[in-house]
Amino acid sequence: MNGQIKKLTDKGFGFITAAGQEKDLFFHSTALEGVQFSELHEGDSVSFEVENSPKGMNAVNVKLA
């Protein structure tokens, strides 16, 4: 899937607005591939996969697009 980073926190996680999704997707810095959390900026385009977790849907394998 593709989307844009909507919000980043200083705690190592953020949210992605995904095309065709109603809710923003949570992602953690441990779900990044080939990029460091400190290199990300709000508005960056990313590609990712979606995984179901006990707290809802999460973005994993997040890469800069």
Q: What pLDDT is attached to residue 17?
A: 97
Q: What pLDDT is attached to residue 21?
A: 84
Q: What pLDDT is attached to residue 64?
A: 97
Q: Is 30 helix (H, G, I), strand (E, B) or coil?
A: helix
Query: What is d(CA 53, CA 63) in angstroms, rounded to the nearest whole number?
Result: 20
Instruction: Please report which confidence band the pLDDT of residue 65 belongs to, taking 50, 70 and 90 as the band edges.
Output: very high
Tokens in use for 12?
A: 């190592």
Q: How do the domains of the chain map onto residue ranges?
A: 2-64
pLDDT in tens, 13-63: 999 999 888 899 999 999 999 999 999 999 999 999 999 999 889 999 999
CATH topology of domain 2-64: OB fold (Dihydrolipoamide Acetyltransferase, E2P) (2.40.50)
